[in-house]
Amino acid sequence: MSEEKRKNPLSVYWIYIAFVIVLVSTHLYINSETTSTIKYKETLLDLVEEKAVKQVKIVNQSTARFQLRKNASNYINSRKDLDFPKMRKLLANKNAKPSQIVFELENIGNHANFEKALDERGYHDYENIIETNWLAQILGYLLPFGIIVLIWLFVMRRMSGGGGGGGGGGQIFNIGKSRAQVYEKGKSTNITFKDVAGLEGAKEEIVEIVEFLKNPKKYTELGAKIPKGALLVGPPGTGKTLLAKAVAGEAKVPFFSLSGSDFVEMFVGVGASRVRDLFRQAKEKAPAIIFIDEIDAIGRARGKNNGFNTNDERENTLNQLLTEMDGFGTNSGVIILAATNRADVLDSALMRAGRFDRQIYVDMPDLNERKAIFGVHLKPLKLSTEIDVDFLAKQTPGFSGADIANLCNEAALIAARHNKTQVEKQDFLDAVDRIIGGLEKKNKIITPEEKKTIAYHEAGHASVSWLLQYANPLVKVTIVPRGQSLGAAWYLPEERSITTTEQLLDDMCATLGGRAAEQLTFQRISTGALSDLERVTKQAYAMTSIYGLNERVGNISFYDSQGRDAFTKPYSEDTAKVIDEEVSKLIEGQYQRALQLLGENQDKLAQLAEKLLASEVIFKEDLEEIFGKRPWDPIEEAQLVEEPTQQIEAASELEPASEDASSQESAEEQGPEEPTPNA
């Protein structure tokens, strides 16, 4: 669309404005004659008395209109009061004869008294007239009506889409106009690819897309077609939106950024209108990039659960998006970027080649990537010399980029809270404890009996995990309440790509170690194992019905990655009964295994629990003192926690594998999530 075409509709509004100005000006002109007003009635009466008035007309019994004689100037020049200075000045400025000017006294007071005053001064030639300004009256009625008509025409044009140059911008109140934030003409997000640490594979593909727009001839000369779109997929906090911000900062082309929810509106047709307006703007400024964050808000698969959806506005928006993405030319220079952490719910038509040609998976950072991310987020902080980036990276498995950024900020806040001039290593350890377990509640009221139960519960977790080969290495155990927890155990989870049956079973057994310790020591159990039971139940069902790790059920997986069977089970009632039986058998077997292990080491369990009651916090070194070193522990892993000079610094900050046990309250466990191997 040319610039001239875009400006043409504005001329219509200028015509409306000019018409209104003419009406108002005419009205004002008609209501005002070329007369000069005076303020005081005595001025006119004095002029009448001096025989200086030629003619007086009383208009509508309220206004006196008069003209002066030629000899009036002498008398006017001799007076310095009332309206005479104004009249003298008026005569001088206009350089006119007195008889050529019409003066008007707007308020004569009582009509009868005014006529009497004229008669007393010997002037009887005054004339009473009635004036009616029909044009002014007509305009007085028509002007408001005309303004209403103009407003109505304006609104109708906007609602019909004709007033704003077409597209969504032509709707009333710009409700159908795209809400995209545009970065162009030197405007950027101040984020570049240097600020994106890790994610090397994803960054490489994104850099290539930017290169497509900067130097398209390099590719088109060889017959290549520029990709139309790229979809960033990955868990929350991994850096999908950050990559898009870096593209906006690096690309020297217009960058349109908006969220999927920006298309959603309560009015029918608004979403589709905003899509049209967005792509219209992008095509006008091509080459350009469009970034849609959280595209699953409008890109969900169509046709699912239609019986529960009475409004197809979202589908209309998606249909328009599909049309626009496949509607412009191959090399038009418009590239679509989108991000989502719910790729499984997206419509298949949206995922096909020709719309999103590339799917870039942004996974959780590994060890080396976490080191690079720490390097970015540690730059603004004033750090002590003892900070070791390698140590921090090894102690934060499973942390996303957003988690690491939050960790660094929390460490700085803790250091400032303690009036430190530098952020120290212990601040980072405390920050991890704060993020994972919550704030310490040392003033929480706990009875001695409850505290003893919690100590044996946590000691049970620690003991069983220490005695099992595939359980995660323990770092720290505490019975100090944190958040909603009354106690917690921190472990260092292994970074696994796949998980074996033995590893899952050992993990379940260690999780049930807390309740087993209560049963063995007190011959009773409490509600403190609620989160433990919830976790092992999910693991057992996953092993049986998803991962195919149960011999009786067989190599069958009932996992629905597309979520199409949300309201129906893909197996019979008999199979469901078998699954329930095998899950119960599996959990009970690991519980008995935990009881056996603790029974064989009951004296060591009691020793560990008493030590925990005395100090409230124990570390890996305390378990080595009681149980001895684990024979299957890697040497480097043992050195990892021994690195700190103080025992408190060895309290590494890892994910708690089990939490509180109390006879009065249920505990919430914050340990590693159930493994989901993707072999």
Amino acid sitting at position 619: F
Which positions ≥6 away from 171 have C-beta within 8 Å?
Answer: 158, 159, 161, 164, 177, 270, 273
* Cα-based angle 232, 236, 241 (whole degrees, multiple of 5): 50
Cα gap 172→601, rounded to integer Å: 77
Helix (H) or strand (E) holding 617: strand 617-619
Q: Which of 410, 424, 458, 659 is catalytic?
A: 458
421-424 — which CB contacts under 8 Å span 24+ positions?
421/382, 422/382, 422/383, 422/384, 423/381, 423/382, 423/383, 423/384, 423/387, 424/384, 424/386, 424/387
Question: Which are the contacts of 359, defined by CB distance < 8 A and separation ≥ 6?
Answer: 230, 231, 233, 343, 351
Cα 339 to Cα 362: distance, rounded to the nearest angstrom: 10
Contact present, 504 and 539 (Cβ < 8 Å): yes
Note if 625 is an active site residue: no
- Tokens representing 351 are 């995922």
Q: DSSP state, 296?
A: G
- Distance (Å, rounded) from C-alpha 398 to C-alpha 417? 27
Say how far apart CA 237 and CA 402 lie, in whole Å. 5
Amino acid at 442: K
HSE of 66, CA atoms in CB hemisphere, 13 A: 26
Encoded tokens for 493: 């989870």
CA distance 658 to 459: 10
For 126, 295, 327, 384, 474, the CA distances from 229, given in Å and listed in that order, are: 89, 13, 13, 45, 45
Q: Which residues contact 89 (CB under 8 A, 6 or more apart)?
A: none
Centroid of chain to Cα 404: 20
| Distance of alpha carbon 99 from alpha carbon 85, whole angstroms | 18
Which DSSP state fits 330?
Answer: T
What one-character DSSP code corresponds to residue 491? E
Determine whether 27 is exposed, middle or buried from the number of CB atoms within 10 Å of its CB (0-12, 13-18, 19+).
middle
- Between CA 404 and CA 413 the distance in angstroms is 14
H/E stretch holding 541 = helix 530-545
424/432 Cα distance (integer angstroms): 13
Which residues does 111 contact at the CB level (< 8 Å), separation at least 6? 58, 61, 62
Report the Cα–Cα distance between both ends of the chain, in Å, rounded: 52
**Cα angle for residues 673, 338, 360 (degrees, 5° grid):** 60
Residue 671, token pair as written in the block: 């340990």
Q: Which residues are catalytic?
A: 458
